[in-house]
Amino acid sequence: MLPNSRCPSRSRVGLVAVLVGFFFILPGTLTGRDATLPSESPGAQVPNEPGGVEGPGNRTGRDVPECGRYQESELVEALRAEMETVFAETPGMVDHTMTVYQHAMDIHEVEGGDPEVVAASALLHDIGIPRAREVHGSSAGPFQEMEGPPICREILTRLAFPPEGIALVCGIVANHHTAHDSDIVSTMEFRILWDADWLVNFPRSHRDSTGEEKERAIQEIFRTARGREMAEQFFLH
């Protein structure tokens, strides 16, 4: 939690919800398409690894959680502002990130986990992409995992995030493509982020799959019961 956070008034919450909803809807309305990573073809991603930006409409209709439920609205606003600054030149990534965030919070409602770690992981999971392109000439998953955690650590430290939470968020970001650290991968927070990202990326990686192949892939890929349930609703019905 950010220090000295407090709940806004009902009128302020309502106004914020309207503005946030307008922000979510406007980019897709203007572009008429799902966001895509610039200068990268869909085939550039390794199969069965999250990292793209497609999804079932890229909208869930969910607002940022209000104060009083997770008591984290100020944290979410601060992290969102940091993320938007990093992706100032690639607004499609803002849309992707907020969709992953919404899915992550939906899964969290059923599966549990630390809500602040879930929110921070979702909002910062792709934060290393611009740096990866700058340093390595590519935003491939392993480069994101290499460059993202130091940026996460700097942001979360500046926002007075708890040290143990910083360590877990950085670990999640460092594993969100390759899932190589069993200690991190076994946490509920990682499993939620993994599933939320895959809910957006699944359509592209399995666009040519049969229904049976999609059903089998969902069982193999998704790591929470709620994430698997959502995937079946989105992609099999």
CB 127 within 8 A of CB 178: no
First to last CA, the chain: 39
% of the chain surpassing 90 pLDDT? 68
Which pLDDT tens digit goes with each residue over 177-224? 999 999 999 999 999 999 999 999 999 999 999 999 999 999 999 999
Residue 167 belongs to some domain of the structure: yes
Position 73 scores a pLDDT of 74
Distance CA 97, CA 174 (A): 16
Q: Tell me, yes or no, whether 188 lies in a domain.
A: yes
- The CATH code of the domain that includes 118 is 1.10.3210.10
pLDDT in tens, 11-48: 443 444 434 343 333 333 333 333 333 333 333 333 33
Question: What pLDDT, on the 0 to 100 scale, is given for residue 27?
Answer: 39
Average pLDDT of the segment spanning 158-172? 97
Residue 87 domain flag? yes
CB atoms within 10 A of CB 22: 10
CA dihedral 150, 155, 40, 206 (to 10 degrees): 90
DSSP state of 64: P
Q: How many CA atoms lie within 13 A of 228 on its CB side?
A: 13
Q: What SS3 state is found at 134?
A: helix
Contact between 149 and 170 under an 8 Å Cβ cutoff? The reply is: yes
Amino acid at 102: Q
Which position has the token pair 């392109």? 133
What percent of the chain lies above the pLDDT cut of 70? 70
In angstroms, rounded to a whole number, what is the distance separating the alpha carbons of residues 161 and 51? 26
Q: Are 105 and 63 in contact (CB under 8 A)?
A: no
Count how many Cα atoms sit within 13 Å of the Cα of residue 230 in the half-sphere of its side chain.
29
- What's the mean pLDDT in 45-69? 37
**pLDDT tens figures, 102-136:** 999 999 999 999 999 999 999 999 999 999 999 99
Mean pLDDT on 63-89 = 74
Digit-coded pLDDT (tens) for 140-152: 999 999 999 999 9
Residue 139 lies in a domain: yes
How many domains does the chain contain in total? Answer: 1
127 contact partners, CB below 8 Å, separation of at least 6: 82, 83, 86, 148, 151, 152, 155, 173
The Cα 91–Cα 75 span in angstroms is 21
For the question of whether the overall pTM of this predicted structure is more than 0.85, the answer is no
Q: What is the mean pLDDT of residues 167-183?
A: 98
| Separation of alpha carbons 111 and 234, rounded Å | 19
DSSP assignment of 179-226: ---HHHHTSHHHHHHHHHHHHHHHHHHTTT--HHHHHHHHHHH--SHH
pLDDT at position 237, please?
78
Range of the domain at 87: 69-235
CA-CA distance, 130 to 115, in Å (whole number)?
A: 26
